[in-house]
Structure 1
Amino acid sequence: MKTLDIDSVRAFVLVADLKSFTRAAEAMDTTQSAVSLKIKRLEDTLGRRLLERTPRTVRLSVDGDDFVGRARSLIEAHQEALGSFGVERRRLVIGISHHIVGAELPILLRQMNRSDPTLSMELRIASSQDVLIELDAGRLDAAIVLRHDSRRRGGDVVLDEAFGWMAAPDFTHVPGQPLRLATQAAPCSVREMAVQALDKARQPWTEVFVGGGTMTIGAAVSAGLAVAALGRRVAPPGTIDIGPQLGLPALPTRQVMLYSALVDRQARSALKTLAAAIRSTID
């Protein structure tokens, strides 16, 4: 009788979800070669090829697509079995800058739940500055924010966020007129970054929309009202970086940082999974 190794099944599901052996290894706190070995063992046990691999992409094979749903059910059943003796639920309060999450937020939450269904998570989305204030006050277990200076030490780099002048494809700018901007209300470090770049380039600008977060700013951009400085990774689907077309100054990249003093294994594992899931959105 064939027996499936649960860690190998979990490695397969992570690769399928994150579309990357590297990201799956980060989530499991192991090496890429170890993940590859686990999946090879699983494929050997099943006698089926589950993943199609090229130097740049990873995708499910036909057999892998058939198996992945059952694999997720197996992991869920395994977690339920482990929790059958009243395992205490771990509550994790995480603050995330609204400039870091976009339309992929449901994917991130789904991956967190799949990695540990016993985890109770509270997510607070605000500006990087406000998130760090909450963290320093002890009201957050972890913070994921944009780094705009080097004053705060420590933390782990999640990724380098590339910004662009995002606009709807049909946005029109009249030469000689101020650039129509959609921004976050001041004080906002991304707003400051954007207007400093425009002022240095002597590009006139005017705020025509002030939002209460990137969701509202993104809506204004998608509606064609204005241009906004947004991370290309989280910009609304269908928008484009209109900067080169209009000759706008290049925007700098910013590091996305994870700050946490948590040391327990369950919490650290959950944060590694979340960081890996965020990184997977740039692959």
Structure 2
Amino acid sequence: MLTLDVDSVRAFVAIADLKSFTQAANLLGTTQAALSLRLKRLEERVKRRLIERTPRQVRLSSYGELFIASARDFLEAHERAVESLLLAKKRLKLGIGCHLIGSELQSMLAKVNEFAPDLVLEISTDTSFQVKEAYLNGELDAVILRSEDERKEGFILCIEHYSWYASPSFQYSPNEPLKLATLDEKCGVRDQAPMLLKRAGLKSHNVLVAGNTDVINAAISAGMAVGVFSQRMAPKDSIDVGELFNLPTLPTSSIELHTHLTDQETRKVLKVICSVFNEYTAEELAVY
């Protein structure tokens, strides 16, 4: 298969346009001897004389006339290919469990922007189950999700410690059912809460079920109910009422990173993203 050298074709086009070896050499920043060598290499490659050179003029040969348009197209295609690589931006498709990121989001984005300002970061949020399914289907490069599974399939970023949180104004009597506000997303810890209360001889009932943490936070701040939160995600104006109300201890869960990416640059970005989680040491990712 015949292949063409870009520099040789560029030399041919420059000579054809300027009709001068001297001017073409100056344009390309080379010597006349080097330019002549490139042209000779191209003519030997295509087995045709492309430039006619006499003491008085430099002009295209009949084969040169046939080749010049294709030569220009060849150089333009080469330039487009190179430009596409130079302008291409690194993309990272990241899935995050929608109830995992709170105030850390702004800090995370600021750190990513500082570390990799040219990165195109595509963030998808959904339930931990859904983002994991998307990852397993190859739709995401990496996911950060909550897991109550004893089998730790990903890299543990931090352990989430849970408790019962309420407004300081919330009133509770052990003789009455504990009012709860909960998310409708399946969560092993929250799902166990009513059972743990029952085992402790305490009654409870849901007074609010919502799919958005903002709604739950508002209910807690309004003194409407008690909510189960990780210490990291508890509303700022709430207090831990677990000990105050003599409520049972809640189990922990882990936040995990799952990724199939191996290139070092992207993994460095993931370290930056994961470093926002309080108990996570970024250097540990190197052994994952």
TM-score interval, smaller chain: 0.5 to 0.7
Q: Determine what percentage of the aligned residue pairs are the same residue.
A: 35
Matches of 1:243 and 1:131, distance apart in 2: 31
Q: 1:186 Cα shift?
A: 5.1
Q: Please tell me whether Structure 1 or Structure 2 has the larger radius of gyration of its CA atoms.
A: 2
Show structure 2 runs of 5+ residues with no match: 1-84, 282-288
Matches of 2:123 and 2:214, distance apart in 1: 16
The letter for the 2-side match of 1:118 is D
Question: Which stretches of structure 1, 4 residues or longer, exceed 4 Å deviation after superposition?
Answer: none
Which residue in 2 is equivalent to 1:242?
241
Which residue in 2 is equivalent to 1:211?
210
Matches of 1:165 and 1:224, distance apart in 2: 13
Which residue in 1 is equivalent to 2:33?
none
Q: 1:220 Cα shift?
A: 1.6
Secondary structure of 1:225's counterpart equals coil
Q: 1:277 Cα shift?
A: 1.8
Q: 1:246 Cα shift?
A: 0.5
Q: Give yes or no for contact 2:159–2:279 (8 Å, CA) kept in 1.
A: no
Which residue in 1 is equivalent to 2:158?
159
Q: Give yes or no for contact 2:164–2:228 (8 Å, CA) kept in 1.
A: yes
Which residue in 2 is equivalent to 1:184?
183
Q: 1:96 Cα shift?
A: 1.5
Which residue in 2 is equivalent to 1:262?
261
Q: CA separation of 1:170/1:241 partners in 2, compared to 1, >3 Å: closer, same or farther?
A: same
Which residue in 2 is equivalent to 1:195?
194
Which residue in 2 is equivalent to 1:124?
124
Residue by residue, what CA displacement relative to the aligned partner does 1:213-265 show, whole Å, maximum 9, x if unpaired? 32322222122111111111111112111111001001112111111111122
Q: CA separation of 1:127/1:203 partners in 2, compared to 1, >3 Å: closer, same or farther?
A: farther
What does 1:1-283 correspond to in 2, within 5 Å? Answer: 86-151=86-151, 153-185=152-184, 187-279=186-278
Q: Give yes or no for contact 2:96–2:125 (8 Å, CA) kept in 1.
A: yes
Higher mean C-alpha deviation, range 194-203 or range 89-98: 194-203
Q: CA RMSD for the aligned pairs?
A: 2.1
The letter for the 1-side match of 2:229 is L
Matches of 2:131 and 2:230, distance apart in 1: 18
Q: CA separation of 1:136/1:235 partners in 2, compared to 1, >3 Å: closer, same or farther?
A: same
Which residue in 2 is equivalent to 1:57?
none
Q: 1:125 Cα shift?
A: 2.2
Residue by residue, what CA displacement relative to the aligned partner does 1:58-78 show, whole Å, maximum 9, x if unpaired? xxxxxxxxxxxxxxxxxxxxx
Residue by residue, what CA displacement relative to the aligned partner does 1:101-132 show, whole Å, maximum 9, x if unpaired? 11222111111211111111122222222221
Q: Give yes or no for contact 2:127–2:185 (8 Å, CA) kept in 1.
A: no
Aligned residues: 197
Q: Give yes or no for contact 1:162–1:231 (8 Å, CA) kept in 2.
A: yes
Residue by residue, what CA displacement relative to the aligned partner does 1:155-191 show, whole Å, maximum 9, x if unpaired? 1110111111011111111331111111111533332
Matches of 1:217 and 1:119, distance apart in 2: 34
Q: 1:87 Cα shift?
A: 4.7
